Amino acid sequence: MPGPGHMGPAMRMGGRRGGLRGPMIIEKPKNIMATVKRLFLYIGYERYILIDLLAIMLVTTVLGLVSPALQQRAIDTITIKKSGALIDFAKLRVILFAMALTFIALSAVNYMEGLASAYLSQRIVKKMRQDLFGKIERLSIKFFDTHQHGDIMSRMTNDIDNISSTMSQSVSSLFSSVITIIGALIMMLYYSPLLTAVSMVTIPISLLATTQVSKYTRKYFLEQQVLLGKLNGHVEEMVTGYKTVAAFGYEQEVVNEFDSIASQLKNTGIKAQIFGGIMGPLMNIISNLNFLLIVGTGAWMATKTGSGVTVGVIQAFVLYSNSFTRPINEIANLYNSIQTAIAGAERVFEIMDAKTEPDEGKIDIEKIKGEIDFDNIYFSYIEGESVLRGFNLKVKAGQKVALVGKTGAGKTTIVNLLTRFYDIDGGAIRVDKVDIREITKQSLRKSIAIVLQDTVLFGGTIADNIRYGRLEATDEEVVQAAKTANAHAFISRLPDGYDTVLNEAGDNLSQGQRQLLSIARAVLADPQILILDEATSSVDTRTEMNISRAMIALMKERTSLIIAHRLSTIRDADVIVVVDDGKIAEAGSHDKLICAGGKYYELYQNQFVGIST
């Protein structure tokens, strides 16, 4: 079936069937302010916790601003005279006691601030993770066919974790910075407007340095996150397809590809860390320059009579100046994680902004007859590369129709369109004379059950996996479905029976056993339309006979579309449709098509007689 795989020349191992993906494209950085605004919208969801955090930070800031003033008063209790130093011990004791209380209170509120900040960040990240997973569940099948699964997982795990860790470290710092800067500026102006003006000299230097370095930092951190997603995707594919890797002896090639991606990640990570790490030392240099300017100017002013500048004032001013510049330094030191979080947030929001699967249907169908009409269908996965061209097929209710043809003829595409995994480009598909675009996708898909060649089982018990066909089913109904599917016998032989816990993808069962569970799930769903997509092509002949008996029971009194390469499994179909180049080449019963000597006869001869055509 020509599908999304035509988008790239190389097939990637692992992933779901039909999910071929082209090379990853590294996108240019987006608007940083737009990303930050969206992050702040998430913070707004927890406004009450935020208000509490702001109140705690206000207390923290006030206590932090009181401390330098107390130190100034303590220092100025010492008076230097020719006869020696005089100390007002009574006043000093009171100030020292006040300082002790201030430091104790500051430690307590700092602890409370840490708790509130952690609680806020974790609730925000939980909300973001819920929104992301909810969006992923609403995305189209096409999205998953054209995106690397490992990269999607990386956005859910690595990128969200980076946002979480950065928020827990930085949210309180960002908010407290504003309050601290305002409070420190007020106190600096109170002590000396001239010294305040001197301390402002280094601010333009700080802004210039931050602006210039950030041009490179954000670029490399975004590229680092993209490469990390690519690396995760490669690992996920290697683990999923390891048997294939080993069978073809491509272990070294896989290692070489991993090393190549890892090297790119290493080089990009080094550049990101270098440019991100420059900020801290650069800010420290500027801070030390600021210290020299303040002390030098303050010492000169202290020699002037009537300036009001004392040793204690200089000490307090230096502390307030540090309080004024410290938020900038903290942000600079956190720049690495902040850039990583913003880059990760962009990648998360990229999925959140992806186009969801449209559902313009208004009709909910419950019990249908199962009549299907494909009317002049046109479809292409990629514009200009048609897969179906004027495809027409009428299926009567309860009829068993087999679709055969060469690989890439469009057989699986037909059922993808019926289930609306993809929407047609032209024509109409009708179920019981109703256009499926007018039917809600949920009710349409509930009327259809699919048994695929590649069975999909989930973590949990065997009973849970069968019950996936109808969650409200009773234990008795689950057992009856298994009996109908010829699965009850092997389930009963297992030590824990229906309570047997399956490992990842049900690998502790054979392929045939997994397929029987898939059929039991379809039996329990009790659909009106059944799709069997090469359901026996990957099992041995004996298992195929067992599965075929189960499918006969499943197809009874249901409209069935069967896609099969093994023609022996569809000889008793009511109608066999040969699909070739996106159209119906011929249709009829097995005997009729053999006698006609056309496309079906050629397929039959190739498969059973071995005659080259």
**Residue 111 identity:** Y
The string of DSSP letters for 273-299 reads: HHHHHHHHHHHHHHHHHHHHHHHHHHH
User: How far, CA to CA in Å, does 444 sit from each of 151, 207, 351, 361?
Assistant: 31, 59, 26, 10
In contact, 423 and 345? CB cutoff 8 Å: no
pLDDT of amino acid 378: 92
Region 297-321 average pLDDT = 76
Please enumerate in sequence order all residues whose Cβ is within 8 A of that of 488, keeping only pairs 6 or more positions apart, or say none: 479, 482
Distance CA(562)–CA(62), nearest Å, equals 75
Q: How far is CA 583 from CA 114, 273, 387, 410, 580, in A?
A: 66, 57, 9, 8, 5
The closest of 285, 315, 284 to 298, measured between CA atoms, is: 315
Higher confidence at residue 488 or residue 17?
A: 488
| Of 250 and 369, the one with more pLDDT | 369
Residues of each domain in the chain carrying CATH 1.20.1560.10:
29-352
Rounded to whole angstroms, what are the CA distances from 164 to 30, 102, 172, 348?
Answer: 21, 32, 13, 13
DSSP 138-195: HB-HHHHHHS-HHHHHHIIIIIHHHHHHHHHHHHHHHHHHHHHHHHHHHHHHHH-HHH
State the chain's mean pLDDT as an integer. Answer: 80
CA distance 343 to 447: 42
> Domain spanning 455-526 has what CATH number?
3.40.50.300
Tokens 């590649």 correspond to 454
Taking only the tens place, the pLDDT of each residue in 20-77 is: 233 333 333 356 788 888 888 888 888 888 888 888 888 888 888 888 878 777 777 7
Any idea which of 49-63, 201-215, 216-230, 321-335 has the lowest mean pLDDT? 321-335
Longest distance between any two alpha carbons in the chain, whole Å: 129
Sole residue written with tokens 């005089």: 86
Average pLDDT over residues 503-509: 73
What mean pLDDT is predicted for residues 267-287? Answer: 80
Dihedral (Cα; 412, 416, 418, 419), 10-degree rounding: 140
Q: What amino acid occupies position 554?
A: L
Q: What percent of the chain has pLDDT over 90?
A: 10
Helix pair angle (311-333, 251-302), 10° resolution: 160
Whole-angstrom CA distances from 25 to 21, 217, 226, 258, 316 are 11, 19, 9, 18, 54
The answer to whether residue 304 scores a pLDDT higher than 90 is no
CA distance 349 to 151: 14
pLDDT score of 321 more than 70: yes
Copy the structure tokens of residue 584: 């119906």
Of the candidates 583, 224, 591, 559, which has an alpha carbon nearest to the alpha carbon of residue 400?
A: 559
pLDDT in tens, 558-585: 898 988 777 767 888 899 999 888 888 8
Q: Which fold has domain 29-352?
A: ABC transporter transmembrane region fold (1.20.1560)
Residue 372 has pLDDT above 90, yes or no: yes
CATH 3.40.50.300 occupies which residues in the chain?
Answer: 455-526
How far is residue 20's CA from residue 8's CA, in Å, rounded to a whole number? 7
Q: Which long-range contacts (CB under 8 A, 24 or more apart) does 281-287 make?
A: 282/209, 282/213, 282/332, 283/206, 283/209, 283/325, 283/328, 283/329, 283/332, 283/333, 284/329, 286/202, 286/205, 286/206, 286/209, 286/325, 287/202, 287/322, 287/325, 287/329
- Residue 370's alpha-carbon distances to 359, 412, 577, in angstroms, are 21, 19, 18
436 within 8 A of 429, measured Cβ to Cβ: yes
Stretch 160-184: mean pLDDT, rounded? 76
What is the structure's pLDDT at 613? 41
Q: Report the DSSP pairing between strands 372-382 and 529-533.
A: unpaired
Handedness of CA 550, 556, 558, 562 (dihedral sign): positive
Q: Measuring CA to CA, which residue among 607, 571, 567 is closest to residue 589?
A: 571
Which tens digit of pLDDT belongs to each residue from 525-556? 888 898 888 766 555 666 667 677 777 777 88
Q: Please state, in angstroms and rounded to a whole number, the distance separating the CA atoms of residues 252 and 233.
A: 18
Of 47-56, 404-413, 421-430, the range with the highest mean pLDDT is: 421-430
Please give the pLDDT value at position 119.
Answer: 84
Q: Specify the pairing of strand 400-404 against strand 385-395.
A: unpaired
pLDDT digits (tens, 9 = 90+) for 428-473: 999 999 999 999 888 888 888 888 777 788 878 999 999 988 889 9
Distance between start and end Cα atoms, the chain:
22
Q: What is the CA radius of gyration of the chain?
A: 35
